[in-house]
Structure 1
């Protein structure tokens, strides 16, 4: 059995099933963390590479880098908040529509429910009983329609949590390329390049826990993406060498 299988498989005893299925549902923030981390590393190191390519002083690199980490990090978090808030508002809007339809057109909604269940493979007496059972609980009925008719997740998004996850990931990853310049290390740009490359690889390797790809492939993939962005920024910076 591969390492990936060992990490992702779970038991199927009755006790394990009840513990896993019965726990409160949650909504992960992997996408927000990966998004913030990669963008924080790429944009900050792009500034470092561009300014270093132009031959400007380390203090300018720190000033511009810090401004990017705080301003761009906040901007990304705010954008993620707005986007997630819009998603949540849309879910609420659709929920109210379904509530109203169930109140005013229950038979029509039952026909929709029946069609969804039929497409899932139910028929005959089993289909009739399932329709009756689900439609007997209004909240369960609404939630089933949100998932079956609109493809919405059963857990509502949390805009502030998503924004916070993005900002923290951006802040941590974005500060790494600046550390050699902040501490005045010799060959600061070289050290910054190595640390940023390690960060890219680490983010990709971390992401692989939720991927079918091996950790090293995911790591090198993210490293390649960040490396291309940094190379472009450095090349542009050399065009304006002072």
Structure 2
């Protein structure tokens, strides 16, 4: 397969996968937000129509967590004066659901995922683009693609550690290891299909 074929097929696959990942993130974020909004409406109805029982349940929960009965009653009494806060507290504390963020835009999450996928996913292809004017050796281009892929994965791991506050070294190693394993599996499958299943080029 020529370098041009690699670039064409690689870029087409990259865009297709990016669209799939971005749209999947959009659907996931939209569904999560919609479910949280519906659950908040249910919780709001419960607080409005069964306020006393909801207060009692919340007091019991705080006591189960180790809070003194008097303190639990005082805290819930304060919450009961602010229904929005009480609704959010019940959602998080009793149902384990985060209140919906009205400023969250699912399409932005999808766009960020799509863009990030393209930026980091194009690293292997850059090797072929950069080296085309200098060499026709596919082995050199392949090695260059591997090096750029490792660099991209390292940057991704460092960015992950920066956001999460974890170890930079461990995060980079884990990210690179994950990429190497995934690439090795893909290569093994491709090699098997080509050599064992009789899919050699004519």
Pairwise same-fold verdict (TM > 0.5) = yes
Counterpart CA distance in 2 for 1:174 and 1:224 is 16
Q: Which runs of 5+ in 2 are unaligned?
A: 195-199
**Residue 112 in 1 paired to residue 65 in 2?**
no
Corresponding residue for 2:147? 194
**Structure 1 segment 14-33 matched on structure 2, within 5 A:** none
Corresponding residue for 1:46? none
**Residue 84 in 1 paired to residue 29 in 2?**
yes
| TM-score, normalised by the number of residues in structure 2 | 0.84
The answer to whether the 8 A contact 2:40-2:99 is kept is no
Corresponding residue for 2:188? 235
Correspondent of 2:13 among 65, 68, 78: 68
Judged with a 3 Å threshold, the aligned counterparts in structure 2 of structure 1 residues 90 and 155 are, in CA distance, closer, same or farther, namely closer
Counterpart CA distance in 1 for 2:183 and 2:67 is 54
For CA contacts below 8 A with separation 6 or more, give which structure has more relative contact order. 1
C-alpha root-mean-square deviation of aligned residues, in Å?
1.9
| TM-score, normalised by the number of residues in structure 1 | 0.71
Counterpart CA distance in 2 for 1:196 and 1:203 is 10
Corresponding residue for 2:117? 170
Alpha-carbon distance, 1:196 to partner: 0.2
Correspondent of 1:217 among 164, 167, 170: 170
**Residue 59 in 1 paired to residue 4 in 2?**
yes
Provide the secondary structure at the position in 2 that maps to 1:136: coil
Deviations 1:69-100 (A, max 9, x none): 21110111101111111111110111010111
Corresponding residue for 2:79? 134
